[in-house]
Structure 1
Amino acid sequence: MRDPVTTVTGITYDRASIKQWLATAAVCPVTKQPLPPTSDLTPNHMLRRLIQAWCTANAVDRIPTPKSPLQRSIVLKLIRELNRSPDADRSTQMNALTIIDKLAAENDGVNRHIMAVAGVPNAMLLFIVKYFKIGEILGVEEALRVLKLTWTPEAEIGFVGDNSDVIGSIMWILKIEIEDSAKLNALIALKNLIEIETSTLIEKLNLEFFEEIVKMMKEKKFAQAAIQVLIETCSWGRNRAMIVAAGAVAELIEMELRSNQETKRATEVVFGLLAQLCYCAEGRQELLKHAAGMAVVAKRLLRNSAATDDRALCVMESVARFAATKEVVAEMLRVGAVAKLCMVMQADCADYLKRKAREILRLHSSDWSNSPCIQVYLLTRNPR
């Protein structure tokens, strides 16, 4: 053991080992009594000293004394100092923020959990909003870094639902001259907030908001985070239409044209948003308006991952079912979309993908039946 701790059930474990256990099973490994992941773990100083003495006596590298866990009372005191008015005592406020930033970076996540439970994420948002209102960026970068490090889905974010200033403050950060890392942290914070938000605030987002996020998409270093923000907001039909109006569809296609497929995940995220935008008529129209729209979808099918295949087929189905003019049907054949659908039917892929491809082929079988790819498919689908 490097850091022996005793649980409320009276059994001593190594801290790292018991925390890893509690991440998957909320019981004491020995007594089988309930042991929630948030249970107190009391340092066993006597056992630690015995281990260290044994190491010294047996010429083994002595295990260092671990740092004491951060106390909740200290965190609450720092939050109180941080909540002071900037005009009252700015130096004390900045000093508290510096200490919080340092603590969040220490101790392999232990401090971060304690800080999250104590309300640090909420305090960081309040700090950012406060400085947004007075138009100063002092300390904002540190606050965003702490917010990223201490954020958990269970964090108490009590004021966001009825205060749209937090969205306004993050949009302000994206527009001002500030470090790129801070802008990236702001996008991550925006995504996290939207994930837990009620519909009240999400449905109030306007076209200017989406235009700014699409603008961030155009820079490679922000692209994935910006797309994640749009994915979180486009479940609302009104928002979906505004995302399309902001130019997202064309930008997604251009991203894939520029892409060298560095990671499968990047293409999956792009197609995840593209599939959702093509559920609305405006999205399908923008996809077909782009000269390479359908060609990009066809090209990525069967070349990336099952998740990308699923979303590419969703795009094709939306177009084939709701926007299939004669020109569109002919274009799908010309750019190889129909050939790829036939390949899906014969490829070693999931059955649900084959069912999707079959349904799309059936929609316009009369128009595509005489094409060479269909003829080859019919000849080879039941090989002897």
Structure 2
Amino acid sequence: MVLPMSRATRLVPELPLLRRGRRPQVADAGNEEELAVPAHFRCPISLELMKDPVTAPTGITYDRESVEGWLARGRGTCPVTGGPVRLTDLVPNHATRRMIQDWCVANQAERVPTPKVPVAEADAAEVLAAVSAAARRGNAAACGLLAARARAIGKESDRNRRCLAAAGAARQLSSAFQSLAGEPVEGTSAAVLGALRKILAALTVFFPLDDEARRCIASPASLKTLVSVLSHGDLAARASAAIVLRELASSADRHTVDIISRTPGLCSALVGLVRNPVSPQATKAALVTAYYLVSGSDRAAARFAELGAVPVVAELLVDADKGTSEKALAVLDSVLCADAGLESARAHALVVPVLVKKIFRVSDMATEFAVSALWRLCRAADAGAGACCAEALRVGAFQKLLLLLQVGCGGVTKDRASELLKLLNGFRGSVECIETVDFKGLKRPF
């Protein structure tokens, strides 16, 4: 049942309260007192003070964020009157906004800032068309400025971002990147390099990539340029390139992923980004990309192992946070599918202890990857596997695996934990256990 405005207001038992003295420049904490917000300044949906009042064709004023959220959920009517309302029908109510601002100042409440006008669909399309036109003309400077403008508009509000995305922002920016790509970064003019950096930064705002955008980024010229940016770009550009690659790899088909993995220098650039991190976000993006490249591809797994991925990931895991640990363990488990990965892991003193340490200490997902990686190291009937079994037993794997089966795990993890226990049981009685938390007593290879 739709309630009239007055009745809906009467059903609210208490008016929302602000506190006096909340303006940033007022430091007198003892001057605070509760302040009732006038009913006509409150949004009928959120019942809170309106920051960006807009009026629907039905004559009811709402806070923009609340009513746009209402319409985004598939409702096409006015919440108060039930009349039809479209997003394009909303008109800024400047008079009410100024009254609210004056009221805030008069009552020493924090002043509501003047909102920025949302981008119109026609304006969004115009900006994006200008980006593509500048790229086709080879005007790198103009293309970079327009891409930065699109990014700034998209960052202003989620509504702007959705509007630009619906207008094809990812597709247009990817096409512009492809048009300017091709030459190594170290030999590229400053204008082109700046444009590429701004396009990549803008792209990260408008995910997901559609099919056409993925084709543009996965083109040989674009991938070649991405490798150069990952290897030689500034810190911000390298982070943006890693994030774009992550989005591409995580949404592409297996054939496209194989093309990406075969791009000269790309695997090396990803390992380098993990070895010499530029930001936590870039490190995680590089790990996710690496996982998609090596998962299901022994050739890619062997390539990452040859590039030193195993010791790099093992060192990263020692003090990694939850998100990084899960991603790093996933990469390590996949790299161990290759013989070169197993050989590298067995030669590194940290791998087995760090895998045992991560069981139970991070998350269920991390435990599954750690158990799987440990199982790959220990299952072969050779001297290397035997040494891994003895080391795993020494750092407490037997007790952790028993506990894992007791508290419950299923599927492949349960089978591998049970098999590991059988393998480790043959070494019990001849190996002294140590505490793994601080890796005491380990001989590290550096």
TM range (shorter): 0.7 to 0.9
Question: Aligned residues: percent identity?
Answer: 18
Partner Cα distance (1:225, 1:20) in 2: 30
- The alpha-carbon distance between structure 1 residues 171 and 6, as it changes in their structure 2 partners (threshold 3 A), is farther
**2:254 is aligned with 1:199:** yes
Partner Cα distance (2:417, 2:405) in 1: 15
2:53–2:96 contact (8 Å) kept in structure 1 = no
Q: Deviations over 1:150-171 (max 9, x none)?
A: 2235686264387332212211
Residue matched to 1:115: 164
Partner Cα distance (1:309, 1:88) in 2: 51
Partner Cα distance (2:96, 2:52) in 1: 12
Residue matched to 1:49: 95
Partner Cα distance (1:193, 1:120) in 2: 15
Partner Cα distance (1:132, 1:283) in 2: 34
**2:404 is aligned with 1:368:** no
Give the 5 Å matches for 1:156-167. 157=213, 159-160=215-216, 163-167=219-223
Residue matched to 2:146: 96
Residue matched to 2:314: 253
SS of corresponding position for 1:303: coil
Residue matched to 1:168: 224
* Uncovered stretches (5+) of structure 1, i.e. residues with no partner: 375-384
Q: What's the offset of the Cα at 1:20?
A: 5.1
1:278 aligned partner, one-letter code: L
Q: Which has the larger radius of gyration?
A: 2
**Aligned equivalent of 1:151, options 207, 212, 229:** 207
The alignment's C-alpha RMSD in Å is: 3.8
Q: Deviations over 1:91-149 (max 9, x none)?
A: 644543443343234x2333222222212222222333333235331322221211112
Of stretches 365-374 and 284-293 in structure 1, the one that deviates more from structure 2 is 365-374
2:294 aligned partner, one-letter code: C
**2:406 is aligned with 1:343:** no
TM-score by length of 2: 0.68
Partner Cα distance (2:302, 2:140) in 1: 44
> What count of residue pairs does the alignment treat as equivalent?
363
1:236 aligned partner, one-letter code: G
1:333–1:339 contact (8 Å) kept in structure 2 = no
- The alpha-carbon distance between structure 1 residues 236 and 356, as it changes in their structure 2 partners (threshold 3 A), is closer
**Aligned equivalent of 1:230, options 250, 272, 290:** 290
**2:241 is aligned with 1:190:** no
More helix by share: 1
Q: What's the offset of the Cα at 1:179?
A: 1.8
1:40 aligned partner, one-letter code: L
Of stretches 164-173 and 236-245 in structure 1, the one that deviates more from structure 2 is 236-245
Q: What's the offset of the Cα at 1:313?
A: 0.6
2:287 aligned partner, one-letter code: I
Q: What's the offset of the Cα at 1:181?
A: 0.8
**2:175 is aligned with 1:126:** yes
- The alpha-carbon distance between structure 1 residues 272 and 358, as it changes in their structure 2 partners (threshold 3 A), is closer
**2:395 is aligned with 1:334:** no
* Uncovered stretches (5+) of structure 2, i.e. residues with no partner: 1-49, 434-446
Partner Cα distance (2:134, 2:326) in 1: 44
Residue matched to 2:272: 215
Of stretches 92-101 and 72-81 in structure 1, the one that deviates more from structure 2 is 92-101
Partner Cα distance (2:59, 2:418) in 1: 61
Partner Cα distance (1:296, 1:102) in 2: 42
2:214–2:248 contact (8 Å) kept in structure 1 = no
Partner Cα distance (2:415, 2:343) in 1: 22
